Structure 1
């Protein structure tokens, strides 16, 4: 497998796992087969010109676009099966960590991957639990004729999505702990990112915009650097073309859109005048 670290902004990085070898159908798990079947069904609905299936697809794609790109990245990492674990320990299945060394120094690459694999673990566990709680509640909608139980299937999909994200994170943690990653700085990525940023991302630039980070830098706000976009939709497409990974395009497009939207919303909130309490 090949793990890519692709900075979207000075604070957010997209993780993408490219599977070099695809398992034959007879070696796929029931979960994998069900996922393939669901994707084929969804694709069939997308091709319809009208009807409730088409409306479901349009609304569903809008929801899918809003699922955090970090979750999609973790889902691209396959679960760690017993067979895969043995092959990776024995060195039969090579894993490469690919990154732009101009932004992410080799000494920090594994730490970045490990952070991406573990920072959302608690969130996915909590939301997986609530999806499981909600599925029995939505089950009575199955009594509605003709139209399938969409709330139930949506919760089922989200539960599967959170489970896959957790499984992907555990796989990353295993590879990092066992030192089973081959560090591979990419000259191609370096040539793309170098004009976008003068050098490696500093710790000041990567300070997350969270309450925790704010407390750690209280009284020294100058040390936090404003977040800045690195990739646009245009140079994102150039990156995909240079890497020759067509399936990466939708992942990058989604991630860039989400980060741009979040930064724009944050800027709008900053520009709003403070609320002033009317005198009594």
Structure 2
């Protein structure tokens, strides 16, 4: 198993797990098999040119795009089963951490991993429980003929998603507590990041300069959509492209929204100052 740390901006990092040597169906749990079947069904609906399945997929993909990239990253980490726990403790399965050493100091890796693994635990617990609460409330919709019970299935998916993210975070804690990680800076990632485009800076941030109102350096993007594709190709992990694209899209939106909010606050402060002077 290999954990990747991808800095998305100067303040945010995506964690992603590449599961190695998973080649046979016997190694998959029933949950994994069920997830694979659901993914195959979803893929078949995507190929339809019209109909309610196509509409469900279109709306569903928009909803999935808005699920925090942090949650997707934690979900990529497999739950800690008894077999996996034994293999990791015995050293049979190695866990490597790969990251661009030019952007993340090696000495900070364990602290960063612990933060990424634990900062959202309470959130996932709370939202998982609310999803369970909503299931019986939405279940009666199934009595309506023809119309599929989409709210119920969405809540089922969200409950599973939060559980999976929570399981991934606990797996990280286990690896850290037992010092089972092999930290390995990646020159390949260093080269990719170094050859990337100029950092993305939203217009409002440019207007305010390179610092925030608190005096700290403004957050900047470190990768772009094209960088994500290149990383996926070089590392030969195709699914990474989607994960990085989603993270880049979400972080760019967050930075732009934050910069716009600060610009509006600055304008409002200016108006207030002028009003005071007039008085």
Q: What secondary structure sits across from 1:5 in the alignment?
A: strand
Task: Determine the C-alpha separation between the residues in 2 that align with 1:221 and 1:254.
Answer: 29
The separation in 1 between residues aligned to 2:195 and 2:23, in whole angstroms, is 39
Q: 1:259, CA displacement in angstroms?
A: 0.3
1:257 maps to: 249
Q: Could you tell me which residue of structure 2 aligns to residue 243 of structure 1?
A: 235
Instruction: Select the structure with the greater relative contact order (CA < 8 A; seq sep ≥ 6).
Output: 1
**2:219 maps to which of 189, 214, 227:** 227
Residue 274 in structure 1 maps to residue 271 in structure 2: no
TM-score of the pair, normalised by structure 1: 0.87
Q: Secondary structure at the match of 1:97?
A: strand
CA contact (8 A) 2:6 2:100 kept: yes
1:82-231 paired onto structure 2 within 5 Å: 82-194=82-194, 221-222=214-215, 224-231=216-223
Report the equivalent of 1:57: 57
Q: CA deviation at 1:187?
A: 0.5
Deviation at 1:196, TM superposition (A): 6.3
Distance 1:240 1:28 in 2: 24
What are the ranges of 5 or more consecutive residues in structure 1 without an aligned counterpart? 198-219
- Which structure 2 segments of 5+ residues have no match? 198-212
Could you tell me which residue of structure 2 aligns to residue 17 of structure 1? 17
SS at match of 2:15: strand
Deviations 1:189-218 (Å, cap 9, x if unpaired)?
112234669xxxxxxxxxxxxxxxxxxxxx
Tell me the matched-pair count. Answer: 255
Q: Partners of 2:66 and 2:236 in 1: how far apart? A: 26
Cα gap change, 1:144 to 1:23, in 2 (>3 Å) = farther
| Larger helix proportion of the pair | 2
Supply the RMSD in Å over aligned alpha carbons. Answer: 1.9
